[in-house]
Amino acid sequence: MKTITTATVLLLGAARALTQQGFTDAFPAEEFMGRRARVMAQIGDGVAVLQGATERRGESPLRQSNQFFYLTGVTEPRAFLIIDGRAKASTLFLIPASLGRQRAIGPYLDVDEESRKLVGIEAIAPRDGFTGAVIALAAENRTVFTPLRPEALSSESSSDVVAFMQATKEDPWDGHVGRDELFLAKLRAIIRDSELKDLDPILDTLRAVKSSREIAVIREATRLAGAGIMEAMRDAEPGMYEYELQAAAEYVYKRGGAFGESYFPLIASGRNMAYTHYHKSRTRLRAGDLVQFDWAPDLHNYTSDVTRIFPADGKFTSRQREYYTIYLRLYQALMTSIRVHATAREIMDRAYLKMQAVLHEFRFTDPKIRETAEAFASRYRPNREGPANPRLSLGHSVGMEVHDVRDPTPTLEPGYVFTIEPQMTMEGGEMSARLEDMILITESGYENLSAFVPVEIADIEHLMAQPGLGRHVLAVPKKD
């Protein structure tokens, strides 16, 4: 296996930080122009209306909402966008500098020709003109498209936000309405005689297939995620807390230009590994423990999702070797079954046959491990009853959100990016294992974007014998 160091990975990708004052430097303006043009083709004579995110309530930078960023690349607060399908033109509404906006943060967009050219949009207008523009559209009785689900920001996926807002509304001690619902209510009040349609399905279909530029950013985010995990492996030793491993990876992410995190760190040791979303990170690593590391950066508004397992003291015990090895071989049976143009069910059927061969040939010494492995493989048995969307059995899509919009097609087509994340847990939670890789579907098959992160026992132990970041910096005194 080719050795990839943290320094190597950081040099592979440009360490450009997401420009938070105005317009992203991750993509050129024509990327967003092309996206808006595809929306125009879908809405016909109609118009699309969107609002952007607000500034944060505290001392933290703005991270634009995903649907608005996807169409504009604009990182200004409280912006509006109108895409006119009939005129084949878009207008961006911004707070102008003349209103005394704070300049302490540095350059930002203004309502001027320079900003219009930078964004690559047909018109930029003052924000206070948005209401009049909507009233003018209402007079034409044209169909208006707008997102109907709540906005998703950093470390959020749309499904999580929808569930949160529903729980908030139903809470008798809360019950507040989100800004998205208020926006919809005001919009409906103005365009009451016009048809209002959901823009989300159109944008989700476009977002499901990644462009070459998007793939490049996701690839870079995955390189950083993998390098962070590898640095945590090098740093790990008994006596550390789970959160200390987070520090090594976070250094890698920030050096690589990450704006934030794709999701909270899922760093679990020992029996904590049985919990799929354990994130307390307060347990101390013990000799003989396994560690499961699942965390990735938010880079240029795009995410990644990679998971690896390693021993806290750098060496697998004989029982851990047996458990991890059979899981890895079953995992690889699933990985090698992925095919372009195939359905999830076809992939699972192929994987099941391979898994049966693996189980037949594997030399088990522990009956509980055999029972656990057989139960794991049975989940892929042909014709078993499954969820309404069988794609979920393979994992989830990844893009601007870690649980990104779903591919509407029943088959895996080129440009789709997703993870597989099957978990094998022993009854009672005594042992557990979950790996996760980033899969890019290509014309000829697929590419594992995270393949450089070691999974074989010999490679993991070799990597963990190398010095980590924590041995090169002044340690922070601990209070036992």
Task: Name the 3-class secondary structure at 465.
Answer: coil
Asked whether the predicted pLDDT for residue 213 surpasses 80, the reply is yes
pLDDT band at 274 (very low <50, low <70, confident <90, very high): confident
φ, ψ for residue 406 (rounded to 5)? Answer: -80, 145
Asked whether the predicted pLDDT for residue 72 surpasses 80, the reply is yes
Q: The dihedral of CA 447, 234, 237, 458: what is its sign?
A: positive
**CA-wise closest residue to 137 among 185, 89, 190:** 190
Asked whether the predicted pLDDT for residue 50 surpasses 60, the reply is yes
d(CA 53, CA 71): 13
d(CA 206, CA 432): 37
Contact 368, 442 (CB under 8 A): no
Asked whether the predicted pLDDT for residue 309 surpasses 80, the reply is yes
Q: What is the number of other CB atoms lying within 10 angstroms of the CB of residue 363? A: 7
Q: What is the number of other CB atoms lying within 10 angstroms of the CB of residue 397? A: 24
**Bridge partner list, 144:** 47, 196
**CA-wise closest residue to 180 among 342, 22, 68:** 68
Return the minimum-mean-pLDDT range out of 14-18, 60-64, 355-359, 439-443: 14-18
Q: What is the number of other CB atoms lying within 10 angstroms of the CB of residue 221? A: 29
Q: What is the number of other CB atoms lying within 10 angstroms of the CB of residue 185? A: 10
- Beta strand spans in 201-346 (E): 260-261, 266-269, 290-294, 297-298, 307-311
Task: Name the 3-class secondary structure at 89.
Answer: strand
**pLDDT on residue 272:** 87
pLDDT digits (tens, 9 = 90+) for 178-204: 899 999 999 999 999 999 999 999 999
The position carrying tokens 């995992």 is 331
**Bridge partner list, 255:** none
pTM: 0.91
Give mean pLDDT, residues 232-241: 95
For the chain, state the CA radius of gyration: 24
Return the minimum-mean-pLDDT range out of 39-48, 228-237, 468-477: 468-477
Enter the DSSP assignment of 270. G
**pLDDT on residue 102:** 54
pLDDT band at 472 (very low <50, low <70, confident <90, very high): low
Burial 440-477 (b: 16+ CB within 10 A, else e): bbeeeebeebbebbbbebeebbebbeeebbbeeeeeee
Asked whether the predicted pLDDT for residue 476 surpasses 60, the reply is no
Return the minimum-mean-pLDDT range out of 82-86, 169-173, 204-208, 237-241: 169-173
pLDDT digits (tens, 9 = 90+) for 338-396: 999 999 999 999 999 999 999 999 999 999 999 999 999 999 998 755 544 343 468 89
Asked whether the predicted pLDDT for residue 1 surpasses 80, the reply is no
Asked whether the predicted pLDDT for residue 279 surpasses 90, the reply is no
**pLDDT on residue 12:** 38
Average pLDDT, the chain: 89
- Sorted by sequence, the CB contacts under 8 Å of residue 207 that are 6+ apart come out as 70, 399, 400, 404, 405
Give mean pLDDT, residues 280-307: 95
